[in-house]
Amino acid sequence: MTALVWFRQDLRLLDNDAVLQACENHDAVRFLVTPTLSQYADHHWSRIKWDLYQRQLNALGDDLAEMGCSLEVAALDYFSDCGPFLQAYCDEHQITDIYVNREYALDEVCRDAKVIELLQKQNERTTTVHQFDSNLLVPPEQIKNGKGEYYKVFTPFFKVWLKHLRQSGVAAPYGRDKLAREGVGKFEHAKLSLPKGESRIPDTDSAELANSKDWPVGEANIRKKAQTFVRELVDDYKGNRDFPAVAGTSTLSAYFEIGALSPRVAAHLLQKTSPEFPEGLSEGAYTWLSELAWREFYQHLMFHEPRLAKGEPFQAEQAAFPWRNDAKQFLAWCNGRTGFPIVDAGMRQLNTTGWMHNRVRMIVASFLVKDLHINWQWGEQYFMQRLVDGSFPANNGGWQWSAGTGTDAAPYFRVFNPTSQSEKFDPDGDYIRKWVKELKDVPKKHIHNPHAYLEQSVQQQGMFNSNEEDQTRYPKPIVDHKHARETFISTFKQVKNTS
Ligand code: FAD
């Protein structure tokens, strides 16, 4: 009776139910990962996310090798290749049981359903697939309202989610000691590259980052990063989390996304800070826990609303919104050349590091949709292609929230004013100056709206340059915010009312 652990986006041994159960129930366990390269490319995985995934996969292979186990890597193209591949694999290696952690978006759900169907139908020997929910604290079926429906609004969802944690506690995550086998081996590192995926947006000229070296891999490093955040920063999280110039958030999102860190490990670190969990947590810790719940809210939403994975807005009537989709303005947004300093700083942070602060993600998203009137799906794809933490549920959720088309979204008439957001959340302009080099000498008084100041200093120096395309000069605003805001609100209302 040989079991197989089939890794997907759960690249860890610590607190991985599929791994633990396979090792507890079987004497012989094989470990396999099947990166589906063309599928990931079509899902717009960024090069930097792929690099991180591959580095963590290699670290996992090393960890398994240390325990005398080997990780097999079989590169496939599409999810549809998984079934036939596993069928042949199970025949060859006499696999009776496969252990996996569930993933909740439509393509992933269909992939697993096909695998199960194929293994049951066509194998001489039935191979049983055991599914676990190790990438969530609470699985989607467990959070329902009195009518048995899923929650469309976050606050009641959060209450029930907390009730589950309160009732069941957050079990201590188990480590690799439970899995240890004899022997020492060596893992041959995989070197795979992603092909180019399908694109629905104009080609951009900002470079695609392909190196994730700033993100340490290996379970010990990642756990240490989480521990340090909880020990040193979480209590101040509530006060700091909205200020992009302050390193006040965990920057753990990329690890949650590839499953190198489990939410149970994160929540357990919080639980250890207070005997009265979750009520006794500090304000900061409680707020951080609620962000872990947002992550799960959007994963549940994907599971319950498969149409979201087909590109539909949650508020279906908004599919008819007459977007302007101006390619030139879209490129200005992508390249951080809109003339709105906080927007440009955010986009340049993304293009330079593969990550962007949450407050700024909200500002740039609102700007693309409500100021430039460009389809939020263009922004959604651009983010996926650039983010190291690109996560379909969180990204789709964040974009639909910002566009006002989502469930429990920002109301459509709430349009972020990029200048006042900047004054409020980057009061000294430090974040702007860090990312927008042309503004590094602009005084605090002018940093949020620097155009008059820049014009004056250029004229004083006698070097007025009227060339709008000059990359060394900070661009003028590409849109009039007040006018754009009014047009967006009236158009959105019209679409809403004609549905
Ligand atoms: P922390 O503030 O430390 O939060 C802890 C964890 O909670 C995060 O690591 C993340 O897993 C989760 N989380 C926090 N905020 C949210 C949220 N609003 N929605 C869902 N989960 C959340 N997050 C992604 O992980 N991947 C994405 O592709 C993504 N795209 C986004 C797009 C837009 C337009 C917006 C507005 C938000 C998006 N987010 C996304 C959510 C959020 O911006 C990031 O999770 C956060 O900035 C990651 O930084 P952190 O790890 O320091 O977060």
In a domain, 184, yes or no: no
Residues 321, 241 share a domain: no
Helices (H), strands (E): how many in the chain?
20, 5
| 332 Cβ closer than 6 Å to some ligand 1 atom | no
Write out pLDDT tens, residues 312-356: 999 999 999 999 999 999 999 999 999 999 999 999 999 999 999
Selection from 65, 63, 69 nearest residue 28 by Cα: 69
pLDDT at 469: 61
Give the pLDDT band (50/70/90) at residue 460. confident
Residues 414, 266 share a domain: no
Q: How far is CA 59 from CA 71, 214, 219, in A?
A: 10, 15, 8
Angle between helical axes of 106-122 and 82-93 (0-180°, round to 10): 40
Residues 140, 129 share a domain: no
Residues 269, 291 share a domain: yes
Last-in-domain residue among 264, 284, 306: 306
124 is catalytic: no
If one residue of 48, 232, 291 were mutated to test the ligand 1 pocket, choosing by the most ligand atoms within 8 A of its CB, it would be: 291
Return the SS3 of 126: coil
Residues 256, 160 share a domain: yes
Q: Between the CA atoms of 398, 400, 404 and 409, what dihedral angle is there, to the nearest 10 degrees?
A: -60
| 256 Cβ closer than 6 Å to some ligand 1 atom | yes
161 is catalytic: no
> Above 90 in pLDDT, residue 461?
no
| 249 Cβ closer than 6 Å to some ligand 1 atom | yes
CATH of residue 31's domain is: 3.40.50.620
d(CA 124, CA 54): 34
Q: How many CA atoms lie within 13 A of 483 on its CB side?
A: 4
> Above 80 in pLDDT, residue 6?
yes
- pLDDT, average across residues 181-209: 85
ipTM score assigned to the predicted complex = 0.99
Number of domains in the chain: 3
In a domain, 111, yes or no: yes
Look-up: residue for tokens 């060596």? 186
Residues 242, 162 share a domain: yes
Residues 100, 245 share a domain: no
| 400 Cβ closer than 6 Å to some ligand 1 atom | no
Residues 152, 244 share a domain: yes
pLDDT at 185: 74
| 361 Cβ closer than 6 Å to some ligand 1 atom | yes
Joined tokens for residue 161: 């989610």
> Above 90 in pLDDT, residue 186?
no
Selection from 189, 190, 192 nearest residue 38 by Cα: 192
Asked if 82 and 114 touch (Cβ cutoff 8 Å), the reply is yes
Last-in-domain residue among 83, 101, 133: 133
d(CA 356, CA 315): 27
Q: Which residues form the domain of 368?
A: 316-498
Asked if 106 and 306 touch (Cβ cutoff 8 Å), the reply is yes
In a domain, 400, yes or no: yes
Computed on alpha carbons and rounded to an integer, the radius of gyration of the chain in Å comes to: 24
In a domain, 248, yes or no: yes
Mean pLDDT of the chain: 94
Write out pLDDT tens, residues 228-283: 999 999 999 999 999 999 999 999 999 999 999 999 999 999 999 998 999 999 99
Residues 369, 384 share a domain: yes
Joined tokens for residue 36: 């589906």
Least confident of 202-211, 403-412, 419-428, 460-469: 460-469
Give the pLDDT band (50/70/90) at residue 122. low
In a domain, 180, yes or no: no
Catalytic residue chosen out of the listed positions 66, 294, 417, 438: 294
Residues 331, 258 share a domain: no
Last-in-domain residue among 306, 324, 356: 306
pLDDT at 175: 78
pLDDT at 180: 66
Asked if 151 and 157 touch (Cβ cutoff 8 Å), the reply is yes
In a domain, 251, yes or no: yes
Residues 129, 147 share a domain: no
Selection from 480, 421, 469, 478 nearest residue 448 by Cα: 421
Residues 124, 141 share a domain: no
Give the pLDDT band (50/70/90) at residue 169. confident
Residue 119 Cα, ligand 1 centroid: separation in angstroms?
Answer: 36
CATH of residue 445's domain is: 1.10.579.10
Widest CA span of the chain, in angstroms? Answer: 84
CATH of residue 275's domain is: 1.25.40.80
In a domain, 209, yes or no: no
In a domain, 205, yes or no: no
With vertex at residue 99, the alpha carbon angle to CA 74 and CA 162, rounded to the nearest 5 degrees, is 120
d(CA 333, CA 140): 36
